[in-house]
Amino acid sequence: MAEKRVMSLVDLQAGQEGVVVGISGGHGLLRRLEALGIRPGKKVAKISSMLLRGPVVVRVDGTQLAIGFGMASRVMVEVDATG
C-alpha cells in the first residue's frame, strides 16, 4: 500500500493531486469552500500558484478555482507520498 502524506494546498506541487481531508477554519470559511466544491473527500488537482504567497489555482470537478494564500494554507489534502 502506498504511503500517504497530509499537507496543505500551498505545499502541494503544481500538477499533483490530493484528496481533501480537512479544513481548519471557521464556519464561514468552511461554507464558502464547501459551496465551491472544496470539502472532505473531494479530489483536488493543483494547477499553479502565484509567486510571493499569491493565490493558489486548483481544479475540482472540472472547474478551476483561485484560492487566496491564507485560505489555501488551511485546506489539508492527502497525497500518495510516491506520487
Partner 1 sequence: MQLAKSSSGLERVLLVGNPNVGKSALFSRLTGTYIITSNYPGTTVEFTRGYLKTDGRQVEVIDVPGTYTLQPTCKAEEVAVRMLDQGGVVINVVDATNLERNLGLTLELLERHLPLVIALNMWDDARHRGINIDVDKLEELLGVPVVPTVAVTGEGVKELVSRLADARIPEMAFSSNEERWAKVGHIVAQVQSLSHRHHTVGEAVGDLGSHPVWGFALAAVVLAAAFWTVRLIGEGIIKYITDPLFDKLWAPALMKLSSLLGSNSIWHDIIVGKLIEGEVDFTQSMGLLSTGIYIEFGVVIPYVVAFYFVLGLLEDIGYLPRLAVLMDTLLHRLGLHGYAIIPTILGFGCNVPAVMATRILESQRERFITATLISIGVPCAALQAMVVGLVGEQGLQYVAVVYGSLFVSWLTIGLILNRVTRGFSPELLVEIPLYRFPPWRLIARKLWLRISIFITEALPIVLGAVLLVNLLYIFKVFDFIASAAAPVVRGVLGLPKESVIALAVGFLRKDVAVGMLVPLALTAKQLVVASTVLAMFFPCVATFVVLLRELGVRDMLKATGIMLIAATAVGGLQNLLLPG
Which residues of the shown chain bind partner 1 in the complex (CB under 8 A)? Answer: 28, 31-37, 39, 47-55, 57, 61-71
DSSP H or E run through 19: strand 17-23
**Least CB distance to partner 1 at residue 8 (A):** 14
Nearer to partner 1, 5 or 59 (CB): 59
**Least CB distance to partner 1 at residue 53 (A):** 7
DSSP H or E run through 6: strand 4-8
Task: Please provide the size of the chain in residues.
Answer: 83
User: Cα angle at 21 between 7 and 54, to 5 degrees?
Assistant: 45
**Least CB distance to partner 1 at residue 1 (A):** 25
